[in-house]
Amino acid sequence: MDTFRLEQLVDIVKRAGDIIRNVHNVADIKEKEGPANFVTRYDSAVQEFLVQEFSQALPSAHFLAEEDGLTATDPYDGYVFVIDPIDGTTNFICDFHCSGICAGLALNGEMIMGAVYNPFREEMFYAEKGRGAFLNGRHLQIKNLPIEKGVTDCGACAPYPSLRDFSLAICRDLSFHTMDIRELGSAAIALCYVACGRLILYASPKLCAWDYAAAQIIIEEAGGVVCGYDGEPLDLRTGVTVLASTPKGKDEFLALTKHTREHYRSPGFLVKNF
């Protein structure tokens, strides 16, 4: 039987951070789908390193990754590494120091471990199913607080202009009930901030599996909830709404945004799980 340990995942992801830790003045920038969706040669370099290391450590695994054509793997077939080499590429380009190297391992469609590393702050978030979640060795346990007790990350959805009005309407719904609104620019980092209590809620109208999978198990092992805007499981789907919060925060989100979600629900709308 193949064996792969959480300690191996953490070590490989941390070493990948060395590739971007001291990078400034990023060049070779290309645009992907959407007007503010970028990729650099460092995204490809980090992903190449991760794939090579994971392939050696767990030869039977497949890959579901953001860059370079590794997006077609069936995430429900055996071991699958789900990788986002640099989540928050725009932040990376702008030297904002809020980007995450993300890698999770799924077995037959269920996440069993994940790691998200911000090398600029040297913060490693990691978790394994049934063993808890941690930040640099500190055990994470979410307090089941309402959204009025913390700040919320709910952004303008720059890569998908057609979703911007919907996203901002959701943000407005929440803004009257939370302490304040933030936009970190990295879904994975924001999700991990929910896990460690820096954020009370995170909401995005469209993410792919590599954006959220590694962080999802970290939140869930910390006692939080990750789902779609309809409250249903994500199941490693791509191009879906993502909500992360405390159990109380999830219930409040569904109640506070009900009118907006119904207003924007239509046959022609791009995202369905709300």
Strands 79-87 and 62-65, sheet pairing: parallel
Q: What is d(CA 50, CA 271) in angstroms, rounded to the nearest whole number? A: 30
- Reference 126, options 194, 180, 192, 172; nearest CA is 192
pLDDT of residue 66: 81
Which helix (H) or strand (E) element contains residue 172? helix 164-175
User: Tokens 């009025």 correspond to what residue?
Assistant: 148
pLDDT value of position 194? 98
Q: What is the pLDDT of residue 33?
A: 56
6-140 has which fold? Fructose-1,6-Bisphosphatase; Chain A, domain 1 (3.30.540)
Please list, residue by residue across 150-166, b when 16 or more beta carbons sit within 10 angstroms of its beta carbon and e when fewer do: bebbbbebbbbeebeeb
Containing 51, the helix (H) or strand (E) segment is helix 41-57
Beta bridge partners of 106: 80, 111
CB 213 within 8 A of CB 114: yes
Domain boundaries, the chain: 6-140, 147-264
The span from the CA of 230 to the CA of 116, in Å, is 26
CA 85 → CA 93, 106, 182, distances in Å?
A: 14, 17, 23
Say if residues 198 and 160 touch (Cβ distance below 8 Å). no
8 Å CB contact between 181 and 151: yes
Nearest residue to 142 via CA among 104, 190, 199, 202: 199
> What is the reported pLDDT for 31?
57
* pTM listed for this prediction: 0.93
What's the rounded Cα separation, in Å, for the pair 93 and 23?
Answer: 9
What is each CA distance from 206 to 70, 96, 129, 137, 241, in whole angstroms? 19, 22, 25, 31, 5
Going residue by residue through the chain, which has 274 residues, state the pLDDT in tens, using 9 for 90 and above. 468 999 999 999 999 999 999 887 776 655 555 555 567 889 999 999 999 999 999 999 999 998 766 776 788 889 999 999 999 999 999 999 999 999 999 999 999 999 999 999 999 999 999 999 999 999 999 999 999 999 999 977 888 888 999 999 999 999 999 999 999 999 999 999 999 999 999 999 999 999 999 999 999 999 999 999 999 999 999 999 999 999 999 999 999 999 999 999 876 666 767 7
Residue 1: predicted pLDDT: 41
What's the CATH number for 147-264? Answer: 3.40.190.80
The continuous run of DSSP H or E covering 87 comes out as: strand 79-87
What's the rounded Cα separation, in Å, for the pair 13 and 121?
Answer: 14
The span from the CA of 200 to the CA of 245, in Å, is 6
DSSP label at 238?
S
Domain 6-140 shares a fold with domain 147-264: no
